[in-house]
């Protein structure tokens, strides 16, 4: 069976890896160590310090900067048909020096194109932007969309102005005119309603709440209506909360539509038509529980598979998506829904060859 | 079979106003659409049973673009006094499609005007 992994974190060994790609004057800034890169405001508690402990570069660095290693450990190990690279270096996290952040996004994109996308045709890329400078982000999207392997725009979950705010509209307009998907992924600065909590376990449990806030913001501020062709994917934010969020928004829409009449459809209809959620980190549901959640979500076409390689909460496809699921549904989750989202042409011949497995 | 009830003088049923009429154990809301057509609907909201005479008759809010609200079809929409659900007085249908689990349509009653009097069949 084909397999599409929608959340694979490529990286670099260190911020100085961007020096060859970044423009002046920021080339000197990075070369001279003027900025050391992002640092999370917490300590990881897993054996591999946030990564799977068995994933290490040869120099011992934790982030994955070696395409050959990723190919060996993920693409070949699991016979991945397509792996969507999502990064974990999000310049939007810089809350000042917007031009510097935008330049780093451009540099990172060039590095990914040169070092990763050219390495294996199974890799697909995410265009990184500095969302705090929406016009610059739009120009970067226009620039990188020309690369045939760039399939989406990555918007990292911010902790202040949610993405439904009109401020960000140029980014969505650029994604739409370039026929790109818009992806959302949590960050080391994403927050729950009361911050990150006091422990890593709280911070990690709160991530779905931060994601829910973004979904609510996007739909109820009319982003789905204004950009009718755009499709959206939520990565690493869970999915079992979706029935509640859709029911709640639908109810609110019935009673409060008069305030936001530019929203033309029930929020659940918008979500069913143009939103995907990645399954990782799976919540160890039984097959019966997973079927119930999907039934409550209201469509089999919404969930897509992700491993989150190389992070510690990695999902193995065979364990995370039970083999006892109905075959048609399992195929939708493991590849068909993502192929539909991204327009991947998965050869029919391959499907027939694997159908007898 | 429905019985016809004489309920008011024609001049008392006005566009934009609700006239509650007690018929047996039920209350019916009577109003007049801007086109002049009488409209009689059940007095209880099909959602949770709120007494609709405390609601309001309004128009249909439209949003041609983000941040812009235009009121259309003035006096053709009834909003429930509890949750604010909107109902199209032309058809009885909710402005937003009902969830699968609930029937969400106002019951409409036949009306007739004759010699300056309004009649409702219920």
Q: How do the pLDDT tens digits run along chain A, 357 residues long?
A: 999 999 999 999 899 999 999 999 999 999 999 999 998 999 999 988 899 988 887 777 666 789 999 999 999 999 999 999 999 999 999 999 999 999 999 999 999 999 999 999 999 999 999 999 999 999 999 999 999 999 999 999 999 999 999 999 999 999 999 999 999 999 999 999 999 999 999 999 999 999 999 999 999 999 999 999 999 999 999 999 999 999 999 999 999 999 999 999 999 999 999 999 999 999 999 999 999 999 999 999 999 999 999 999 999 998 999 999 999 999 999 999 999 999 999 975 455 445 444
pLDDT of residue A353: 46
Residue A48: per-residue pLDDT? 87
Chain B residues within 8 A of A250 when measuring between CB atoms = 99
Facing residue for B83 by CB, picked from A225, A255, A261: A255
The answer to whether B53 and B27 have CB atoms below 8 angstroms apart is yes
Could B83 and A166 be called an inter-chain contact, meaning their C-beta atoms sit closer than 8 Å?
A: no
Q: CB-based contact (8 Å) between A252 and chain B?
A: no
Rounded to the nearest angstrom, the gap between the alpha carbon of residue A329 and the centroid of all alpha carbons in its chain is 22
ipTM of the complex: 0.93
Contact B63 A260 (CB under 8 A): yes
Could A253 and B62 be called an inter-chain contact, meaning their C-beta atoms sit closer than 8 Å?
Answer: no
What is the CB neighbour count within 10 angstroms for residue A75?
A: 21
- Which pLDDT value is given to residue A352? 46
Distances (CA, A) of B63 to B60, B90, B92: 10, 21, 22
With contact defined as beta carbons under 8 Å apart, do A147 and A124 qualify?
Answer: no
What is the spatial distance between Cα A8 and Cα A195, in angstroms, rounded to a whole number? 27
Is A246 touching B (CB cutoff 8 A)?
no
Q: Given an 8 Å threshold on Cβ–Cβ distance, is B68 in contact with A262?
A: yes
Phi, psi of B31 (to 5 degrees): -150, 180
Residue A249 phi/psi, 5° resolution? Answer: -65, -40
Q: pLDDT tens digits, residue range B12-54?
A: 999 999 999 999 899 999 999 999 999 999 999 999 999 999 9
Asked if the C-beta of B36 comes within 8 angstroms of chain A's C-beta atoms, the answer is no
Specify the pLDDT at position A24: 97
The pLDDT value recorded for residue B102 is: 78
Q: State the alpha helices, DSSP H only, in chain A.
A: 26-31, 67-70, 98-111, 134-144, 169-177, 200-220, 223-226, 242-256, 267-274, 287-297, 317-320, 327-331, 337-342, 348-355
Residue B108's alpha-carbon distances to B31, B44, B93, in angstroms, are: 12, 12, 10
Task: Give chain B positions within 8 Å (CB) of A222.
Answer: 63, 66
Predicted TM-score of the model (pTM): 0.94
Contact A226 B63 (CB under 8 A): no
Query: What pLDDT is attached to residue A356?
Result: 43
Mean pLDDT, rounded, for B70-79? 98
**Residue B1 confidence (pLDDT):** 67
What is the SS3 assignment for A149? Answer: coil
CA distance A15 to A342: 30
Nearest-Cα distance to chain B for A160, in Å, is 21
Residues of A in contact with B85 (CB under 8 A): 254-255
């Amino acid at each position: 069976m084909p397999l599409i992994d929608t959340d694979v974190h490529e990286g670099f060994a260190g911020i100085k890896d961007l020096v060859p790609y970044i423009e002046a004057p920021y080339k000197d800034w990075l070369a001279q160590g003027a900025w050391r890169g992002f640092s999370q405001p917490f300590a990881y508690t897993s054996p591999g310090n946030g990564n799977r402990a068995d994933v290490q570069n040869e120099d011992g660095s934790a982030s994955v900067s070696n395409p050959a290693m990723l190919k060996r450990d993920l693409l070949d190990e699991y016979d991945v048909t397509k792996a969507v690279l999502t990064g974990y270096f999000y310049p939007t996290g810089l809350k000042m020096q917007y031009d510097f952040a935008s330049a780093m996004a451009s540099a990172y994109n060039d590095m990914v194109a040169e070092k990763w996308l050219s390495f294996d045709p199974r890799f697909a890329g995410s265009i990184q932007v500095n969302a705090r400078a929406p016009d610059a982000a739009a120009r970067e999207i226009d620039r990188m969309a020309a690369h045939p392997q760039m399939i989406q725009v990555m918007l990292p979950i911010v902790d202040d102005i949610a993405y439904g705010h009109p401020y960000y509209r140029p980014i969505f307009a650029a994604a739409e005119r370039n026929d790109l998907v818009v992806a959302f992924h949590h960050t080391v600065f994403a927050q729950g309603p009361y911050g990150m909590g006091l422990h890593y376990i709280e911070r990690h449990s709160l991530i779905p709440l931060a994601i829910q806030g973004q979904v609510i913001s996007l739909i109820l501020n009319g982003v789905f209506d204004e950009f009718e062709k755009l499709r959206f994917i939520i990565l690493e934010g869970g999915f079992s909360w979706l029935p509640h969020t859709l029911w709640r928004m639908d109810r609110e829409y019935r009673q409060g539509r008069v305030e936001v009449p530019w929203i033309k459809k029930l929020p659940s209809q918008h979500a069913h038509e143009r939103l995907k959620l990645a399954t990782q980190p799976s919540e160890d549901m039984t097959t019966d529980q997973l079927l119930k959640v999907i039934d409550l979500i209201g469509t089999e076409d919404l969930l897509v598979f992700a491993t989150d390689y190389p992070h510690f909460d990695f999902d193995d496809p065979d364990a995370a998506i039970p083999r006892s699921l109905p075959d048609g549904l399992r195929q939708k989750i493991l590849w068909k829904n993502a192929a539909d989202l991204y327009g991947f042409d998965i050869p029919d011949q391959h499907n027939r060859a694997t159908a007898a497995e | 079979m429905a019985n016809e009830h004489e309920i008011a003088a024609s001049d008392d049923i006005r566009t934009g106003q609700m006239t509650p009429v007690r018929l047996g154990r039920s209350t019916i809301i009577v109003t007049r659409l801007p086109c002049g057509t009488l409209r009689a609907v059940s007095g209880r909201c099909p959602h949770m049973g709120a007494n609709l005479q405390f609601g309001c008759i309004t128009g249909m809010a439209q949003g041609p673009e983000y941040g812009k609200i235009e009121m259309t079809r003035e006096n053709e929409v009834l909003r429930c006094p509890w949750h604010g659900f909107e109902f199209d007085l032309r058809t009885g249908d909710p402005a937003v499609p009902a969830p699968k689990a609930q029937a969400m349509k106002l019951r409409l009653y036949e009306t007739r005007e004759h010699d300056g009097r309004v009649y409702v069949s219920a």
